[in-house]
Each structure stands twice: as structure tokens, then as C-alpha cells.
Amino acid sequence: MGGRTLPSRARIRFGVFPMQIRKHFRFEAAHVLPYHSGKCARMHGHSYRLEVAVRGPLQSHGPARGMIEDFDTIKRLVHEHVVDALDHQTLNDLIENPTAEHIAMWIWKRLDPSLPGLDELVLWETANSCAVLRRSDFVAP
């Protein structure tokens, strides 16, 4: 081994480059899709599942040292700004034409100012249907 340079992968300095953490939430809500041609034009409810992803380097000081962000901080912010506002509500009272895509955009606007590093939202409307919104989606074409 002596004298040989290590492969580049072995020289990655973990913690210097950003990585992503993710937390899951749930809320129940009703909605009507007024423009839909099928049954979604009738009032109905979903058990929404929300994934919130935060990206950044690891903090090097303070109580969140070694973390991108404290999971408890993310939990508190998402409950305060999103879950408490949407749970057991009729989404049409808050969001125009509340499709999964529009709900995800609404959540992004609520969270972005208070959650630095917000990187991705995944809003599951059913077990197999979701909308995904990423920070990279906002880059001008």
C-alpha cells in the first residue's frame, strides 16, 4: 500500500458536503376539486402524508452539532406552520382548487421562510399518488 494514493472516494470528507434529512407527517383533511370531471368533484377526505426534506452541511457548533438540523426543530416548525393549519380542515377554505400540487405549493410558501435548507416536499394524497416539489424546480428555465 505504501506510497499509493487512496482512491478519491476514500478522501471524501464526510460532513463537509451537504446531505439530506427527511421527516414524515400526517394530517386528515377534506377537499373538493371543482374542475374535476369525475368523483373528486364531490366532497371527500384524505389521510395525507407529508415528507419534509432539509438539505445542508452538518452544523459544527451548538446543540445540533453533527446534524443538518435537529429533527425536533423540524417537527415543531412543520406542526406550527402546516399540520396545525391543515389537520381536519376543508382545504378549499384555505387553498384555491386544492389539488396535491397546489397543496404542496401552499406548504412550501408556509415553511420556506422559517425552515432554512428546505429542499423537497412530497405530499402523498393516497398510498400510491403523490406530488413532489423540489427547490431545484424553482430555477429559472
- Inter-residue contact 74 to 50 (CB < 8 Å): no
Kindly state the smallest distance separating residue 46's Cβ from Zn ion, in Å.
5
40 is catalytic: yes
102 is catalytic: no
Task: Between 24 and 36, name the residue whose CB sits nearer to Zn ion.
Answer: 36
Ramachandran assignment for 104, one of left (phi > 0), alpha (psi -120 to 50 degrees), beta (any other): alpha
Task: Between 18 and 45, name the residue whose CB sits nearer to Zn ion.
Answer: 45
- Inter-residue contact 126 to 55 (CB < 8 Å): no
| Active-site residue identified among 31, 69, 81, 125 | 125
Give the Cα separation of 47 and 119 in Å (integer). 23
Residues between 9 and 48 that touch Zn ion (CB under 5 A): 40
| Active-site residue identified among 40, 79, 101, 130 | 40
88 is catalytic: yes
Residues between 61 and 80 that touch Zn ion (CB under 5 A): none
Q: Based on the number of CB atoms within 10 Å of its own CB, is 140 exposed (0-12), middle (13-18) or buried (19 or more)? A: exposed
| Residues near Zn ion (CB under 5 A) | 40
Q: Which residues are catalytic?
A: 40, 88, 125
